[in-house]
Structure 1
Amino acid sequence: MQFDARAAKLLKPGEHMTIADHPGLRLECTASRRAWIYRYKSPVDGRMKQTKIGAWPAMSPAAAIVEWEKLRAARDSGRDVAAEKRTARTNARAVENGSLPHAGPYTVRRLCADYLVGHVERNRALKGAKEIRRMFDTMLAPIAGMLPEEVTRAIAFDLLNSFAHIPVQAAKLRSELGAAWDYSLDAGRLREDTPNWWRQIMRGRLRSNGKKIQGKAVGQVKRVLAEAEVGELIRWLPNFSRIVDDALVMYLWTGTRGSEIASMEAAEIAEEKDGLWWTIPKSKTKNARRPGATDLRVPLFGRAAQIVRRRLAVAGDGYLFPARVGGPIEQKVIQTAVHYHQPYSKTRPEDQRPRLTITHWAPHDLRRTTRTLLASMGCPNDVAESILGHMLPGVQGVYNRHTYDRERHEWMGKLSVKLESLASDGGADFVTKD
């Protein structure tokens, strides 16, 4: 970080200064103050927006960067942070004026709404927040109009038990309702003696029996494609749309997560002395909240490098995998496309489309397959885990601060060669016909 306090003091009204390596973070000067501002392009409507972080010098540059990271992570997840702040202010004024339409008894519905607005939408990615809102909207009908104090242990049990046939969803509902009750207790919106039954009932009883395909249980098997299957799948990928084909290739050639691929931006790509590198900001990784985590460095070889260069040519400074309505493509688009082409998919049965010859897999299985390929090639465990963006466990994770860039470069190069050999073993690429 480079911040010149002397230069900051010399700023005149209307002027601003930026902070190196922290895009969008700036210190703006007006006639009465100097404030930290985060300026960004809205993922919702594509317009330039900005939001105040804090006043300088009361907020130090280091503290401003911490808040900038949080806001940038929220923006990367698809949220418009400035719009959210305006909505919160509007709602607060409405509460003060007594003009909110839901003012009245503090029901379970209101409790869950407060939890969504006050905690979930501020701390979760857009995808997760939308899922929790959907879950509350569709699963709470029997208790939504009740007062939280009226929800007895038996009532809570009956609600969860009614969803016992979908145990994973029921367990998620139990967890989120427990957190919602805790949030309202902490905020003083419930009496301190109000029991939180969600933390006590059905513990350990809501377990998945694994997914079913065509009505047949397939258990909790985590799929890893055999080498022959990998080669055949690579040759089949052109049957997908170009954007899905490219994304699935990136899974195999980089081992990264679907969310990281979908949100890839031009600013994260750099041509370095040893080739093309993709640096995924820590805020976009699964380790965003872990203190010892860093940005994830990914060397790009073979087809991955070709895809990135081709997409950079049209992306400008935006997303490499853009959605049609602005912002990045959603990860579920890739997942849905894979399921749509499975031979057992009954989605839009009237549509004619090529069916996958390698079946019973999902995009995330390709990441697991890449990890297995690295192990089979003799890649050291620490290096392979680092490639996938996993933090090393225990004491090793605390004391080992080696970046593994050299090792990543070596083994990702070998992986690319291996994948190309698998793709060529079955002959020329093929595309099935409708």
Structure 2
Amino acid sequence: MSLTDSKLRNIKSPYNGPREVADRDGLTARITKNAMITFNYRFRWHGKQQRIKIGRYPDMKLSLARIKTGELRQALQDGLDPRCYAVQQSGGRLLGDICNDFMDIYAIKELSSKSVILYKSFINKYIMPNYNIDVERYRYTEWVKFLDTVRTNTSAANAGSILKRLKTVIRWSKSRGEIKDSFCLDIPIKAIGTTQSQRDRVLEWSEVAGLWRQIESSRATPKTKACVQLLILTGARNAEIREAKRAEFKLDDAVWVLPKERSKTGKAIRRPLSDHSIHILELLDFIYGVERQYLIEGAQRDKCLTTHSINRYVQRLNEVLKYEHFVPHDFRRTISTRLSEKRVMPHVTEKMLGHELGGIMAIYNKHDWIDEQKAAYQLYWNELKTHVFQ
């Protein structure tokens, strides 16, 4: 049934009816639980369903929404993308277009593959449904409502993260002279959410030993066990181990060379291997063969183990052990802290973690203290072994 002004006026909070009500010619009204009503034009472009936000009721009357819909519908019939037509009519820059340009011109060429994946997910989930936001004309309170919805549907920390990404994209457009300003840039995170809390979890020796024993006794596949154990023993990042190629590991030299293409710093990282790390690698070779592409293969031979698989396994370990909750990234903090307690120097543990040194040392000192790293890795395994067999 078509919409009427009477029906729209009678929608009150809390609203429990259908979330979207169709009018005609592609015009719909989206209604939140708080009875916020937004007019949208739905259409198909190159076989994919698209949506343009037209305006918000009662600021925009139903009659005007129908007029706008007619204009967009005519543009579609003339072979024009209604989203581009909307930009031409408003004279402003749409959030969706800015994000697409950000990806094509900057992100894909300059950012890491992981950052690109994060931005793509951000755009698909939060930008595409709000493609038609004019970043210069969108009011402060409208941005806040948009981010409040993110907070309600997810979390305060996620709303803060989304605001940061929005600001990054909008500042990029502003720096290019495409827009003059946006109210979004004025919103403090505390107004709509919180910042992501920084983890400080460090496992005690008894916890690392208990975790190791649980891994050994679990019924997980050898490759899943090996992945987590190597994360514990090397302090490497999750993806550095999961996505590692077998060819990166030189067992005769007891060293793993992470190529610069996979390094977060954009520079190759040499990591020595303790005796037990080599034992784990040799066991993988025995089971899965030396000629494999990835050190730890996933369900398919040409694919690496997924982060979901590791996180799911670590969660199961959490449930069994009932320690204070830990995640794979906490193993990095643990190896650095426990070795520091054993008087291993900070510049050595920083190199073990694959970090760049700060200050003048970052510019002039390119040494990686490979011998000191080797001694530290062996010390860590020897200490862990002592606690495991207590």
Question: Structure 2: which amino acid aligns with 1:132?
Answer: Y
Of structures 1 and 2, the one with the larger relative CO (CA 8 A, separation 6+) is: 1
Question: What is the aligned-residue identity percentage?
Answer: 21
Q: Does 1:263 align with 2:263?
A: no
Q: Distance in 1 between matches of 2:137 and 2:168?
A: 18
SS in 1 for 2:121: helix
Q: How far is 1:309 from its partner? A: 2.4
Secondary structure in 2 matching 1:379: coil
The gaps in structure 1 that reach 5 residues or longer are: 1-97, 211-219, 289-293, 344-354, 426-434
**Distance in 1 of aligned mates of 2:316 and 2:112:** 26
Q: Does 1:130 align with 2:117?
A: yes
**1:221 CA displacement:** 5.0
Question: Is the alpha carbon distance of 1:158 and 1:366 closer, same or farther for their aligned partners in structure 2, counting shifts above 3 Å?
Answer: same
| Structure of greater Rg | 2
Distance apart, 1:164 and its partner CA: 4.2
Deviations 1:49-77 (A, max 9, x none): xxxxxxxxxxxxxxxxxxxxxxxxxxxxx
How do 1:30-49 residues align onto structure 2 when only pairs under 5 Å count? none
Q: Deviations over 1:254-286 (max 9, x none)?
A: 1111111111112211244xx411011133222
Matches within 5 A, 1:6-155: 103-106=84-87, 107-140=94-127, 143-155=130-142
User: Mapping of 1:240-319 within 5 angstroms?
Assistant: 240-272=220-252, 275-288=253-266, 294-312=267-285, 314-316=289-291, 318-319=293-294
What SS is found at the alignment partner of 1:298?
A: strand
Question: Which position in structure 1 is the counterpart of 2:169?
Answer: 180
CA RMSD of aligned residues (A): 2.8
Q: How has the CA–CA distance of structure 1 residues 175 and 259 changed in structure 2, closer, same or farther, with 3 Å as cutoff? A: same
Contact (CA 8 Å) 1:175, 1:199: kept in 2 or not?
no
- Residue pair 1:105, 1:147 contacting (<8 A) in 2 also: no
The one-letter code matched in structure 1 to 2:274 is F
Residue by residue, what CA displacement relative to the aligned partner does 1:115-172 show, whole Å, maximum 9, x if unpaired?
2333333333444333333333333477433333431222122222333462332222
Aligned partners of 1:264 and 1:321 also within 8 Å: yes
Quote the residue 1:234 is aligned against.
212
1:2-38 C-alpha deviation (Å, 9 max, x unpaired): xxxxxxxxxxxxxxxxxxxxxxxxxxxxxxxxxxxxx
For the 8 Å contact 2:255–2:272, the answer to whether it is kept is: yes
Q: Secondary structure at the residue paired with 2:270?
A: strand
Greater fraction helix: 2
The gaps in structure 2 that reach 5 residues or longer are 1-78, 88-93
Measured in 2, the distance between the counterparts of 1:361 and 1:143 equals 36
Aligned residues: 298
Q: Distance in 2 between matches of 1:199 and 1:315?
A: 53
Cα offset, 1:225, TM superposition: 1.1
Change in 2 beyond 3 A, CA 1:162/1:100:
closer
Deviation, structure 1 residue 178: 2.2
TM-score scaled to structure 1, two decimals? 0.61
Q: Does the 8 Å contact 1:157/1:202 carry over to 2?
A: no
Question: Which of residues 362, 370, 373 is equivalent to 2:327?
Answer: 362
1:322: which partner in 2? 297
Once the two structures are superposed, residues 323-362 of structure 1 have per-residue CA deviations (whole angstroms, 9 ceiling, x without a partner) of 324332233431232124432xxxxxxxxxxx23545111
Structure-2 residue corresponding to 1:58 = none
Q: Which residue of 1 aligns with 2:42?
A: none
The separation in 1 between residues aligned to 2:272 and 2:261, in whole angstroms, is 19
